[in-house]
């Protein structure tokens, strides 16, 4: 397992106003797990298999897809890179 720290939802984050954290929690996610998505720049299609939310950055999604050259890929994409 990696050495990162995972804080429970609603936990305090140093330097981040509590109001900002609460506002983020209420924002609905754009893509659900197991939802089909398209990578905007390439048109390749895949499935969301993971999701990460951040206080000061746009959400990211782990997408499993077959690349144009036939390779199987699992890559993190920002929300704005997906359609």
Residues 15-62: pLDDT tens digits?
656 665 555 566 788 999 999 999 999 999 999 999 999 989 999 999
Report whether 27 contacts 79 (CB < 8 A). Answer: no
Q: How far, in Å, CA of 65 to CA of 47, rounded?
A: 7
Report whether 42 contacts 58 (CB < 8 A). Answer: no
| pLDDT computed for residue 55 by the predictor | 87
Residue 1 — pLDDT band, cuts 50, 70, 90? very low
> Model pTM?
0.70
Sign of the CA dihedral running 27, 33, 36, 40: positive
Q: What are the strands of the beta sheet with 36-38, ordered from one edge?
A: 36-38, 45-52, 60-66, 72-78
Tokens of 37: 């998505």
Find the mean pLDDT for residues 66-76: 96
């Amino acid at each position: 397992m990696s050495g990162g720290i995972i804080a429970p939802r609603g936990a305090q984050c140093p330097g981040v106003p509590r109001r900002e954290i609460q506002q983020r929690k209420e924002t609905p996610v754009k893509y659900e797990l197991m939802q089909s998505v398209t990578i905007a720049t390439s048109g390749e299609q895949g499935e969301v298999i993971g999701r990460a939310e951040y206080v000061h950055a746009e959400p990211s999604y782990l997408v499993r897809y077959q690349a144009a050259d036939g390779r199987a890929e699992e890559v993190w994409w920002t929300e704005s890179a997906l359609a």
